Every structure is written in structure tokens, then in C-alpha cells.
Amino acid sequence: MKNRLRVLRAEREWSQADLAQRLEVSRQSVNAIETGKFDPSLPLAFKLARLFEISIEEIFTDESSGAELEVR
């Protein structure tokens, strides 16, 4: 799943460690989510959305959603 975490973080001039501290997770977790190698659970996604004060959809993009819409 693609996400805009790196951009959102950069806009606030937060390091990965800063964001990790705010989310109460490890820096490795933030890195894995940012690089799209690890998809967070819904509670963590909501936590991210609350932290950046935007909706989950504005952070994460479901890569398969476009293809599904075409099939419909």
C-alpha cells in the first residue's frame, strides 16, 4: 500500500524517530510503513490520521482500488 507518510513527516520537519515517539512505536516500524513494506493495522492508521489531522485516505492509497473500479 502506498502512502504519503514521508511527505507529511517532512512538512512538519519530523525525523522518523520523532514520528515513532509520537506514535509510541519503534523507528523501524515507521521506516517499514514509509517504505510500504509493512501495512499498519486500522488502529495505527487512525492514530496516524489523528496525528496529522487528516483522513486515512489522505495518507494511504490502495493500489488495487483502481483496478477494482475498472472491473465494476
Partner 1 sequence: MICSSTNQAQRRFVRRMWVAAPLCILFSLAAALAVRHGHVTGVPAYLIAVFSALPILGAIVVTGLYLEEEKDEFQRNLLIQSMLAGIGATLAATEIWGNLENFIKAPHLDPIWVYPMFWVFVLLSYPVVRLRYR
List residues near partner 1 by CB under 8 A.
Answer: 24-29, 31-33, 35, 37-38, 40-41, 44
CA distance 37 to 18: 20
User: Rounded to the nearest whole angstrom, what is the least distance from the CB of residue 16 to partner 1 in the complex?
Assistant: 12
| Torsion sign (Cα): 24, 30, 32, 37 | positive
Say how far apart CA 18 and CA 27 lie, in whole Å: 8
Q: Which is nearer to partner 1, 4 or 23 (CB)?
A: 23
Q: Which is nearer to partner 1, 28 or 65 (CB)?
A: 28
Beta carbon nearer to partner 1, 42 or 67: 42
Cell 512538512, residue located = 11
